[in-house]
Amino acid sequence: MYEVSQIKAVFEKLISGNEELTELFFEEADFVAYGQTEDCLPYVDIGIISRYIVEKKIKNETDKFQIFFDNVEEIYHYSDSEIKDFLIIGLFEGIQNIGSDKIDYYFSFNQWLGKESQIAWDNLIDYWEGQGWRLSNEKTKRNKK
Q: Report pLDDT digits (tens) over 67-111.
A: 999 999 999 999 999 999 999 999 999 999 999 999 999 999 999
In Å, what is the CA distance from 92 to each residue of 35, 68, 83?
24, 13, 12
Q: How far apart are the first and last CA of the chain?
A: 43
Of 83 and 33, more confident: 83
Burial of residue 23 (number of CB atoms within 10 Å: 0-12, 13-18, 19+)? exposed
pTM above the 0.75 mark? yes
pLDDT given for residue 81 in this prediction: 95
Enclosing domain of residue 66: 4-144
pLDDT over threshold 90, residue 49: yes
Average pLDDT, the chain: 89
Contact, 102 vs 72, CB < 8 A? no
Confidence (pLDDT) at 76: 97
Q: Which of 2-16, 77-91, 114-128 has the lowest mean pLDDT?
A: 2-16
Query: Who wins on pLDDT, 74 or 34?
Result: 74
| Number of domains within the chain | 1
Q: What is the 8-class DSSP label of residue 79?
A: B
Give the list of residues 6+ apart from residue 69 with CB closer than 8 angstroms, or none: 109, 112, 113, 114, 117
Backbone CA torsion sign across 31, 16, 22, 86? negative
Going by C-alpha positions, the residue among 113, 103, 23 that lies closest to residue 57 is 103
State yes or no: pLDDT of 138 exceeds 80.
no
Euclidean distance between CA atoms 90 and 44, whole angstroms: 8
Mean of pLDDT values over 107-120 = 96
Mean pLDDT, residues 1-23 taken together: 91
Model pLDDT, residue 75 = 97
Phi, psi of 2 (to 5 degrees): -90, 125
